[in-house]
Amino acid sequence: MKPQSEGISIIGPGRVGQALGKLLHEAGFPVLFVAARRRAPAQRAARFIGSGRPIGLDAPELTIAPVILLTTSDAALAPVARSLAPLRNDWSGRVVLHTSGSVPAAVLAPLKRRGAAIGSLHPYQTIPNPSTGVRNLVGGYWGIEGDPAARRVAARWVKALRGVPFPIRPEKKILYHASAFMVCPTLVTLMDQSTRFLALSGVPDRIARPMLARFVTETVKNFVELGGQTALTGPASRGDWQIIRRHLAALRRDFPGTVPLYQELLRAMLRLAGKHAPAGLTGTRRRSV
Ligand SMILES: NC(=O)c1ccc[n+]([C@@H]2O[C@H](COP(=O)([O-])OP(=O)(O)OC[C@H]3O[C@@H](n4cnc5c(N)ncnc54)[C@H](OP(=O)(O)O)[C@@H]3O)[C@@H](O)[C@H]2O)c1
């Protein structure tokens, strides 16, 4: 099998694989193969991407492409790398990349041992479905680590997508990933909780979500422009303990399960504001520092 001079094989094309595949294909990086465990998802993904021959994960042809992009779930990276490696004896000249933000490129070691350059490029973005990814991956931020040849390919892709590449320490990737966890799925969870408070307060559904969108967008803008401490508003930053007492009483009555969460957030907020709450409010015996 002769290697192509350019082209990509996408392995495990879920939400990120399909979105990135489509964007790369449209940016002039040909997608040659789309490989999945089952035929139907591979076909669907190739249709979405607009390019690539759907094949199985054990098809040696997929190694014709000089760049292999693994977009499987994090847990599948190690077993998939192990099963891909024997598809060719010599992987030199090949680059293998994955898109996980929590797992270092070293998970691809079986391929590196056979000569591949390995790396990862992680979009610091939330991609709930492939179409959203096509919209929001352009101009985004990408954490990159790995071997120089792999980082070069990743940087070329990011540049083509008008994105911002930045380095991450492989040994700290899980902390890097936790930074995304702190502000994305948590925010969705908090907003969902907030809509429950609003519903019981009588705010119509059709108002609640756009109202939260405007509120949260403004909050984010202020954080970016002013920094955490200055952007902080609300009773904790003002030291209005009466309001916090009344919040807690209302939550104990209507949403008792949320009290520990409220108090944990309050403690973090007080640390940011540099304020001390009266004993008892934060749910700890000691005064908050
Ligand atoms: N979604 C996001 O917001 C986001 C953002 C940044 C980075 N990422 C990272 O990007 C990667 C892909 O995420 P995703 O959200 O695109 O995941 P996803 O939509 O759940 O897709 C995962 C894909 O992995 C395949 N897969 C799972 N186990 C496999 C195995 N043992 N062998 C072969 N294929 C397997 C699945 O194929 P089947 O159809 O066969 O199950 C599916 O196509 C992950 O590393 C994730 O951490 C995701």
- Reported as a single tens digit per residue, the pLDDT across 103-137 is 999 999 999 999 999 999 999 999 999 999 999 99
Give the pair of three-digit tokens for residue 139.
């101009």
Task: Encode pLDDT of 127-176 as tens digits.
Answer: 999 999 999 999 999 999 999 999 999 999 999 999 999 999 999 999 99
Mutate to test the pocket of ligand 1, among 48, 68, 71 (most ligand atoms within 8 A of CB): 71
Report the pocket of ligand 1 as residue ranges, CB < 6 Å: 12-17, 36-38, 41, 57, 71-74, 76, 79-80, 99-101, 122-123, 125-127
The DSSP annotation for 184-240 comes to THHHHHHHHHHHHHHHHTT--HHHHHHHHHHHHHHHHHHHHHH-HHHH--SHHHHT-
pLDDT grade for 5, boundaries at 50, 70 and 90:
low
Measure the CA–CA gap between 284 and 270, rounded to whole angstroms.
Answer: 13
Q: So what's the pLDDT on residue 6?
A: 80
Q: Which atom of ligand 1 is nearest to the CA of 184?
A: 3
Containing 11, the helix (H) or strand (E) segment is strand 8-11
DSSP 32: E
Residue 72 CA, closest ligand 1 atom number = 24
Task: Assign domain 8-171 to its CATH superfamily.
Answer: NAD(P)-binding Rossmann-like Domain (3.40.50.720)
- What is the 173 CA–ligand 1 centroid distance (Å)? 18
Which CATH architecture does the domain made up of 182-273 adopt? Orthogonal Bundle (1.10)
Domain positions in the chain: 8-171, 182-273
Q: Which of the four pLDDT bands, split at 50, 70 and 90, describes residue 284?
A: confident
**CA dihedral angle for residue 135, residue 137, residue 138, residue 142, rounded to 10 degrees:** 170
